[in-house]
Amino acid sequence: MQSDGSFLVTFVRENLDGTSDVVGRKVSSSGSVGSEFTIFDSGDVESIVAEAATLSNGNYVVAYQNYVGTGDHDVDYKIFTAAGLPVAGPGVQANALDPEDASDVQIAALAGGGFVAVWQTGNDGSGVGIKAGVFDNEYNNVKGGATGFIVNTTTGGIQYQPDVTALKDGGFLVTWIDGGTVQGQRYDASGNKVGSEFDVSSGGTKTDPTVASLGDGRVIFGYLSGAPFDVQAAIFDPRTSPINGTSSADVLTSRKDGATVNGLGGSDTLLGQGANDTLDGGTGADEMRGRAGNDTYIVDNAGDKVIESSGQGTDTVKSSVSFVLGSNVENLTLLEPVAVVAASGDINATGNSLANTLTGNSGNNILDGKGGADTMSGKAGNDTYVVDNAGDKVIESAGQGTDTVKSSIAYTLGDNLEKLVLTGSADINGTGNGLANTLVGNAGRNTLDGGDGDDILSGGPGKDKLLGRKGKDVFVFADDLSKANADKVVKFKHGKDTFFLAQDKFAAVGAKVGKKEFVEGAKAQDKNDHIIRKGKKIFYDEDGKGGTKQVLFAKVDKKAVIDHHDFEVGDFVI
């Protein structure tokens, strides 16, 4: 209908020679009927089923089904001015590349401009199905091209009798029959699905569905049911207002096309219906089941439960408390804490066996993906990442705290990561980056390579190799002293690098290694000689020239220059 109240009526005129044409008449707001004009002159063929809609610019679009011989029909479109003059050439044949028949065309003008057409096709991959095409006011294709796109998710069997209505948000909703059930699918203005295909009807055989939008934004479906037929209807609400519970323990179900469901108070049960839902239980220990669709869960209570089954979309938990992902949930994002729940943002995220994406908040988070090739991003704060898979990715930006990777596999620190701690007992290696790194080995034999920067390297138990490379590097000896734990320092830089001796392991040295406590030779010469350099080996002797045997704790290059100034004593903290 035009803004002045006039509208266009289209119909198929049967000719005496057996052919038919698509014609139209404009009707004024007062009911005055204009002259008949031809929309499509079939010539010696048949045209049937004509549908019209008024576009947002005042023009009309007319769609019709055109018989082209050999049992085949094309679906064509034409655009006319408000006066009935054509403004576009011959319509595009919607089934030009389809090997099967196209029929039963329906059309709707979209709220934001343009139009959508739907039709029945013999080419949905397995038989009869539903196709659609989206166009702007000038007939430029938005989605679907000349052959359209498949509407029905289920392609087995027969899907037929389509209808379509425009929604207030600029999108549209398609309905059709599948196996005697009325189905629906919502779309946005670009022709992208909103939510999943859903059942409109239940019980008994349904036919001849129709759909229309109500003034308040809801949608009404009508259809025939049973035999003899009853006329039945169903109301569908595509509006985006949330579904809210009460302060009690509620059971709340989302809309079929998805919604935000807020449990508010009480220990609630929230249920999705197969679309993309946001489920927020609010206070209380809530149970949330999104079912199919890409669902988002808001968690703020340690007692909240998120339950998903396999193959039900890619789901995300957003939590303001420490949370462990249950089975079949893919992503976890930590939110800033709720004041009444957590005193700080120092909460943790733990994954499952899937390839998870874990995202921290501004606090000091521990992110542990568990099994699977996980992606972890801690953001601000001093975060800790647990790595156990070669496919794990740790992402940090500059200026976002001092971050630590704890890895049970060989690992190289990525950009903006400061610390690496190897875990377990496997013989694995750790490599730094261009920052001032701290690298700590595990119980196995490790090679720790600091790379550029002023690095701190501690081999841990086992015979390790420590490479400081560039920078002023510190080599830490804080484990039990024994030949089995003696680490090799490669290319020690005199006057630049430092041997750091843990106070509790080198107690006899005191606060520092004095000139008289360091000696080069085979063994201690007096009671004050505690650090002995003999070629490539460095020993600790707790009583000097006493009865206690000196212990090998480090090895260096033969040509390395070392004196007492190269040692420091203190407490080592990772």
Residue-level pLDDT at 448: 98
Q: Residue 469 — φ and ψ, nearest 5°?
A: 60, -135
Amino acid at 493: K
pLDDT, tens only, 510-526: 899 999 999 999 899 99
Q: In what order do the strands lie in the sheet with 7-14?
A: 7-14, 20-27, 37-40
CA distances from 348 to 114, 301, 320, 388 (A): 49, 14, 10, 17
Query: Other C-beta atoms within 10 Å of 49: how many?
Result: 18
Residue matched to tokens 């002045």: 4
Q: How does pLDDT run along the chain (574 residues), one tens digit per residue?
A: 677 778 888 887 877 777 777 788 888 888 888 888 777 776 544 556 678 898 999 898 888 777 666 666 777 778 888 877 888 554 444 444 344 577 888 999 999 999 999 999 877 667 789 999 999 988 788 998 778 899 998 888 889 999 999 999 999 999 999 989 999 999 999 999 987 788 888 778 999 999 999 998 889 999 999 877 899 998 888 877 789 999 999 999 988 778 899 999 999 999 998 889 999 999 999 999 999 989 999 999 999 999 999 999 999 999 999 999 999 999 999 998 865 455 578 999 999 999 999 999 999 999 999 999 999 999 999 999 999 999 999 999 999 999 999 999 999 999 999 999 999 999 999 999 999 999 999 999 999 999 999 999 999 999 999 999 989 999 999 999 999 999 999 999 999 999 999 999 999 998 999 999 999 998 999 999 999 999 999 999 999 988 899 999 999 999 999 999 999 999 998 7
Residue-level pLDDT at 319: 97
Helix (H) or strand (E) holding 366: strand 366-368
* Residue at 115 is within a domain: yes
The number of folded domains in the chain is 2
CA angle centred on 66, ends 62 and 67, rounded to 5°: 170
The DSSP string of 398-433 is TTS---EEEESS-EE--TT--EEEE-SSS---EE--
Q: How many CA atoms lie within 13 A of 247 on its CB side?
A: 0
Q: How many CA atoms lie within 13 A of 406 on its CB side?
A: 12
Is 419 exposed, middle or buried (CB count within 10 Å of its CB: 0-12, 13-18, 19+)? buried
Residue-level pLDDT at 46: 55
- Do 488 and 464 contact (CB within 8 A), yes or no? yes
- Do 413 and 432 contact (CB within 8 A), yes or no? yes
pLDDT, tens only, 473-507: 999 999 999 999 999 999 999 999 999 999 999 99
Q: Which residues are CB-contacts of 53 (< 8 A; sequence separation ≥ 6)?
A: 60, 61, 107, 108, 109, 115
CA distances from 95 to 69, 134, 299 (A): 13, 15, 49
Q: Which two tokens stand for residue 175?
A: 């309905």
Is 127 exposed, middle or buried (CB count within 10 Å of its CB: 0-12, 13-18, 19+)? middle
* Residue at 120 is within a domain: yes
Residue-level pLDDT at 565: 97
Q: Which residues are CB-contacts of 22 (< 8 A; sequence separation ≥ 6)?
A: 10, 11, 12, 13, 38, 39, 40, 42, 47, 50, 62, 64
CA distances from 535 to 285, 518, 519 (A): 67, 14, 12
Residue matched to tokens 């007992």: 425
Residues 385, 401: Cα–Cα separation, whole Å: 13
Q: Residue 483 — φ and ψ, nearest 5°?
A: -60, -30
* Residue at 270 is within a domain: no
Question: Final residue of a domain: which of 188, 214, 236?
Answer: 236
User: Would the pTM of this model clear 0.75, i.e. be above it?
Assistant: no
Where are the extended beta strands (E) located within 16-171?
A: 20-27, 37-40, 47-54, 60-69, 72-80, 102-109, 115-121, 129-135, 141-143, 149-150, 159-166
* Residue at 421 is within a domain: no
Q: Taking the CA atoms of the chain, what radius of gyration do you get in angstroms?
A: 37
DSSP 483: G
Residues 159, 179: Cα–Cα separation, whole Å: 7
> Which residue, among 375, 379, 412, has the nearest Cα to 396 in the 3D structure?
379
* Residue at 23 is within a domain: yes
Query: Other C-beta atoms within 10 Å of 44: how many?
Result: 8
Residue-level pLDDT at 63: 82
Say which CATH number the domain at 198 has.
2.120.10.10
Helices (H) and strands (E) in the chain — how many of each?
Answer: 0, 51
* Residue at 487 is within a domain: yes
Question: Final residue of a domain: which of 221, 236, 251?
Answer: 236
Residues 163, 209: Cα–Cα separation, whole Å: 7
Residue-level pLDDT at 241: 77
Question: Final residue of a domain: which of 208, 236, 264?
Answer: 236
In this structure, are strands 269-271 and 287-289 parallel, antiparallel, or unpaired? parallel
Domain that holds residue 87: 7-236
Residues 140, 156: Cα–Cα separation, whole Å: 32
Exposed e or buried b per residue across 84-101, where buried means at least 16 C-beta atoms within 10 angstroms of its C-beta: beeeeeebbbbbeebebb
> Which residue, among 553, 555, 557, 558, has the nearest Cα to 541 in the 3D structure?
553
* Residue at 68 is within a domain: yes
CA 406 from centroid of its chain's CA atoms: 25
* Residue at 490 is within a domain: yes
Peptide bond into 86 cis (omega under 30): no
